[in-house]
Structure 1
Amino acid sequence: MNEYEGGGLAAGIGVVGGIIYLAIIVLMIAGMWKTFEKAGKPGWAALIPIYNAIVLIEIIGKPMIWVLWLLIPCVNFVFGIWALNLLSKSFGKSEGFTVGMIIFPYVFLPILGFGDAKYLGPSAAEAQNGGFGNNPFNNPNNPFNSPNNPFNKPSGNQDTPNDTPPPVV
């Protein structure tokens, strides 16, 4: 085999690899497109790089400052994983599905988009189950929405009056 025959083989492998890569990208975009449509957002938003992050943030119910966090290097890994977790919870999926979306997004995004998952709202499963583990707050996205929060009580609360003077020592 001379040097020219090996180049043709390498080119063929490169072309086949490129076709497989493009097919995986198209499958991921189609899955994201259908996921956006299930959440009531425009599906074409999956095609525009930063706008799809904005739409994802709207779907998971987080503030727009998250766009900045998703653009900062090293910080974006943490917030990206967190966003995927909230996305899977918004469709009623568990943390196991989140792990699948992180490791195999080309499989789990189409499952989310083309599967039978229904959009329930921002982090719906987390809000319905009371959060991960024993969460004292009803809504993990708003920790001040608890009935036991002392900041929610009016200033003139007379449930536990404290009109007795302190003891004199």
Structure 2
Amino acid sequence: MIKGILLILAFLLFSLISESYVRSLEKLKGEREVKSELREVEIQLYGKKGLEWKIRGTTLTYVSSHVVVKNPVIRTENYTITSERLYMDRNSRRGRLEGKVEIRGPNLYLRTLNAYVDLVKNVAWGYERLILRKDSNVIRGRGFKIFFKPFKVHINEVESIHTAP
């Protein structure tokens, strides 16, 4: 009888140990997502007409299809977009720019806090307050959409327009 009780206790102990082992393996299985980090990177995106965009950054972090670029400088033809961070989906080539977003080009300067970019459709847009300098005009407003090819700028809500003499 004592052997039977000891056998049952040993079986219960074995089942508890094996259950905790299986749970620890399940946790490890969920944590297998690979995260890569690169420093001083340049990404070139090609389209039907050849090289369309260049993205440079101080650090690139890559997890599955999500890319985070710190201090990105995004260039297309005559236009440059800078910000503190770019969060981009590698497959759709759409992203979110966060922190001190600036768009510069010939006779153009736009500054806002956050913006979005679609590198396939060559469009940048945002919903925050902005300052836009075009030639000698200074425009304050909220929300914008910039088409890079062909170049067009739309401001959603214009608050004020100032013209330099």
Q: Which has the higher helix share?
A: 1
If you compute each CA radius of gyration, which structure gives the higher value, 1 or 2? 2
Is the strand fraction higher in 1 or 2? 2
TM-score, with structure 2 as normaliser: 0.34
TM normalised by structure 1 equals 0.33
Higher relative contact order (CA 8 A, sep 6+): 1
